[in-house]
């Protein structure tokens, strides 16, 4: 596999770097201001320099010199900089919006390193923010900095991720490479429901399968059924044995190099939530709970509202988007056949973090890190297509599902 050099800005816990590493990208440097996120990144990427300083106080030229990289040599700058405050069409807002200044910091590093490629990830809502002007400004800024760029909205299940998650991906290439080949093509079929703006400058930017005979999506059961059973509130040993041998290709891939299961402890549900979950079948939700057991506000709700709240996930379907809390009040986070919520490890599996990836901090902080991450398998798919666009095809990914 060809290897490429990269840095990751606004790196979070390292989901993007994890996937890119599997696609042949070597992380030289990462910047993440939040302490626990940076600790998790360092724990799993010990070969990478991790910098916890405020990026506004970091001298990009000194970082480039420290890495021994000349301007133009780096292959990729990747990251998830806050973009929503950036707009050349709203100078008053831009001047006062801290997020805008953070995106300018990302561009500052791009100027100093002038990498062969730039990768930016964000939420789908970026496309409609300020009527599309923010996205237009980002693409225009990349062009001004020497990059041909484009944007796609990718659906994670199309790339082997077992949850309904969408990400906006912006890629910029210099030196006249084919920008269209830099975006990955879906490799799996999955039910799609688009509930956001999917058109930009008159064209649909949601990447959909262009082949009919693709394998189906990875289900929740496919993803987590080999993990140990737990009672509500059970913690157990730090390192636990798997419940079964790997049952499928996904589980085998997630377990490569693993000695056992970590970050797998059941948060304790309250007595009222235990009563609620006892009424919910697999695939069911709050509408299966007797009205008198519902929170007061939900007792007045229409039965068509809040369809994912207090959901027990369908084992044969996709999980809800993994958020920063696996709180059943906000989605389908009850296990399909165990009366409890998802553990950090189960949430991490649904995000496609390998079992060797460990999360630092308290359980609350671990859930937050998982929920805010880019799914590594999605990042790996982007990495492979980027590598192709950069002129070196990677020869398959060990964990490609």
pLDDT given at position 212: 82
Residue 94 banded pLDDT, cuts 50, 70, 90: very low
pLDDT of residue 48 exceeding 90, the answer is yes
For 362, residues 6+ apart whose C-beta sits below 8 A from its C-beta are: none
Q: Is residue 294 part of a domain?
A: no
- Note the pLDDT tens digit of each residue in 344-373: 999 999 999 999 999 999 999 999 999 999
- Note the pLDDT tens digit of each residue in 11-24: 999 999 999 999 99
pLDDT of residue 99 exceeding 70, the answer is no
Q: Which of 183-187, 190-194, 308-312, 394-398 has the lowest mean pLDDT?
A: 394-398
pLDDT of residue 92 exceeding 50, the answer is no
Q: Is residue 313 part of a domain?
A: no
- Note the pLDDT tens digit of each residue in 236-294: 999 999 999 999 999 999 999 999 999 999 999 999 999 999 999 999 999 999 999 99
Tell me how many domains the chain contains. 1
| Sheet architecture: strand order including 148-155 | 49-51, 25-31, 4-9, 76-79, 117-122, 166-173, 148-155
Mean pLDDT of 316-326: 94
Q: Is residue 247 part of a domain?
A: no
Residue 101 banded pLDDT, cuts 50, 70, 90: confident
Q: Is residue 261 part of a domain?
A: no
Q: Is residue 380 part of a domain?
A: yes
- Note the pLDDT tens digit of each residue in 184-242: 999 999 999 888 889 999 999 999 998 889 999 999 999 999 999 999 999 999 999 99
Mean pLDDT of 158-164: 97
Q: Which of 26-30, 76-80, 194-198, 379-383 has the lowest mean pLDDT?
A: 194-198
pLDDT given at position 211: 85
pLDDT given at position 90: 43
Q: Is residue 23 part of a domain?
A: yes
Q: Is residue 289 part of a domain?
A: no
Phi and psi at 278, nearest 5°, equal -65, -20
pLDDT of residue 88 exceeding 70, the answer is no
Mean pLDDT of 101-130: 93
pLDDT given at position 308: 87
Q: Is residue 129 part of a domain?
A: yes
Q: Which of 9, 60, 83, 386 is catalytic?
A: 83
Task: Assess whether 83 carries a catalytic annotation.
Answer: yes
Mean pLDDT of 374-393: 90
Structural domain harbouring 87 = 4-214+375-389
Q: What is the CATH number of the domain that holds 101?
A: 3.40.50.150
pLDDT given at position 3: 87
């Amino acid at each position: 596999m060809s290897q490429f050099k990269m840095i990751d800005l606004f790196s979070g816990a390292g989901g993007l770097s994890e996937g890119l590493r599997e696609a042949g990208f070597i992380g030289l440097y990462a910047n993440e201001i939040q302490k626990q996120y940076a600790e998790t990144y360092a724990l799993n990427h010990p070969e990478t320099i991790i910098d916890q300083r405020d990026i506004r106080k970091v001298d990009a030229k000194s970082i480039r010199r420290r890495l021994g990289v000349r301007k133009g040599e780096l292959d990729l700058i990747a990251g998830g900089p806050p973009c929503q405050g950036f707009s050349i069409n709203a100078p008053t807002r831009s001047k006062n919006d801290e997020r805008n200044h953070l995106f300018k910091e990302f561009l500052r590093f791009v100027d100093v390193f002038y990498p062969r490629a730039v990768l930016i990830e964000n939420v789908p809502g970026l496309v409609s923010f300020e009527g599309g002007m923010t996205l237009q400004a980002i693409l225009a800024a990349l062009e001004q900095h020497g990059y041909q760029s484009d944007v796609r909205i990718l659906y994670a299940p199309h790339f082997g991720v077992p949850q309904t998650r969408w990400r906006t991906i912006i890629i910029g290439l210099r030196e006249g490479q084919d920008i269209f080949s830099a975006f990955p093509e879906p490799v799996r079929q999955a039910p799609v429901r688009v509930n956001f703006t999917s058109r930009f400058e008159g064209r649909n930017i949601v990447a959909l399968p262009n082949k009919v005979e693709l394998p189906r999506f990875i289900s929740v059961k496919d993803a987590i059924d080999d993990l140990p059973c737990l009672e509500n509130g059970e913690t157990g040993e730090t390192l636990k044995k798997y419940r079964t041998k790997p049952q499928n290709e996904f589980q085998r891939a997630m377990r490569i190099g693993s000695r056992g299961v970590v970050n797998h402890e059941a948060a304790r549900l309250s007595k009222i939530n235990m009563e609620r979950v006892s009424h919910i079948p697999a695939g069911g939700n709050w509408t299966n709970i007797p009205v008198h057991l519902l929170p007061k506000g939900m007792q007045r709700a229409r039965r068509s509202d809040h369809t994912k709240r207090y959901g027990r996930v369908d084992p044969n379907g996709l999980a809800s988007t993994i958020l920063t809390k696996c709180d059943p009040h906000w989605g389908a986070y009850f296990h399909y056949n165990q009366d409890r919520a998802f553990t950090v490890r189960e949430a991490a599996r649904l995000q496609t973090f390998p079992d060797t990836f460990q999360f630092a901090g308290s359980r609350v902080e671990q859930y937050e890190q998982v929920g805010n991450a880019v799914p590594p398998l999605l990042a790996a798919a982007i990495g492979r297509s980027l590598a192709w666009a950069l002129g070196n095809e990677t020869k398959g990914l060990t964990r490609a599902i």
